[in-house]
Structure 1
């Protein structure tokens, strides 16, 4: 199974770009960090807030994914068409794979730049996907890197110069998609709300909004 075939069958019309919650009829939008500001009075990073965010993301991931589930790890890399020609999958995947042989199995497809900006035609999106299992990944480090987008913290995703990579976890065993957009929150969508209802009920205090068809 490849990513395109799965998405066309199970999530027709959905674009794997930020705000998947707004594109789909069944999902949960979580607000993370307990409304604690990222900086303290002397403008240093509030590491307590980041520890809370890391823990919340780990809890959500572990509720949604089991070690033997089949998943796609999908990464969007945004780049200049002419200035940056090389494929840089290693910068996102290599540090977070337990077995480097998986690097040979990564698929890539190039799309038009998905955001409305001036001169968007000069940019493009490379979408990488890897079929694997959570047990094959350094999940804790991946979740931290996704949360660290706007701040000088490690681990950090590599990538191109124009935008931070977006990473999606797609559980094809349970038909659930999990996306951390940054330290402020994350989105979960599903084909069936029954799959994510326990998450909603257990962590209702973290829920920004939810919807189901």
Structure 2
């Protein structure tokens, strides 16, 4: 089964673009690094803040993914229309997939740019690879997703229109995770009990403004 076929069956209303939380009722938006700041008083990168965020995202990831789970690792690459060699600056698969033989099954589709700003100037290429969690260098890939706006390594590569977006779509458990940057991540699922358990366990990482919507969807 290809990624689009799976989505149409399991999450028919969802497009894999930022703000998944608003596309699906059974979804949780986590706010990361609460009461901490990305920069120190001296304007330097606050390593303690990022350590806190890494820990939060790893905890959430491990709550919904296990090593033998099958998933689609999906990446949106934003680029100028007509840009040659679209994979040249995309480091996600060569760098973070352990089993390089899987890369022969990497799929790519081209779509219109999903954001309103300069809509006709750019396009989106969406890469997807079906693999298992244990095939991915999860810790490094999570850090690279978190590092979007900061001069920290590892990085995902990409082109000037925008940093690549990475989605983890768990086919085994019908749940997905999107880390949009160091400020937050989103979890979507089909199983209300599973989502309720995740929410209750990590409710302290959910902003009060989001709790009402989430709690209504879990009733």
What TM-score range do you get, normalising by the shorter chain?
Answer: over 0.9
Q: Residue 81 of structure 1 contacts residue 123 of structure 1 at CA under 8 Å; is this kept in 2?
A: yes
Q: Please, which runs of 5 or more residues in structure 2 have no aligned partner?
A: none
**Which segment drifts farther, 32-41 or 66-75?**
32-41
2:148 aligns to what?
149
SS of match in other structure, 1:161: coil
2:78 aligns to what?
78
1:139 aligns to what?
138
Distance 1:144 1:152 in 2: 12
Q: Deviations over 1:47-84 (max 9, x none)?
A: 100000001000000000011111000000000012x2
SS of match in other structure, 1:144: helix
Distance 2:27 2:81 in 1: 34
1:164 aligns to what?
163
SS of match in other structure, 2:93: helix
Q: Does 1:129 align with 2:128?
A: yes
RMSD of Structure 2 on Structure 1 (CA): 1.2
Moved beyond 3 Å, runs of 4+? none
**Which one scores higher on RCO, CA 8 angstroms, separation ≥ 6?**
1
2:98 aligns to what?
98
2:115 aligns to what?
115
Q: Does 1:192 align with 2:191?
A: yes
**What is the aligned residue count?**
211
Distance 2:127 2:70 in 1: 16
Q: Please, which runs of 5 or more residues in structure 1 have no aligned partner?
A: none
Quote the offset at 1:158 in angstroms: 1.0
Quote the offset at 1:6 in angstroms: 0.4
Distance 1:175 1:127 in 2: 20
TM-score, normalization by structure 1:
0.95
Quote the offset at 1:87 in angstroms: 2.5
**Which segment drifts farther, 64-73 or 93-102?**
93-102
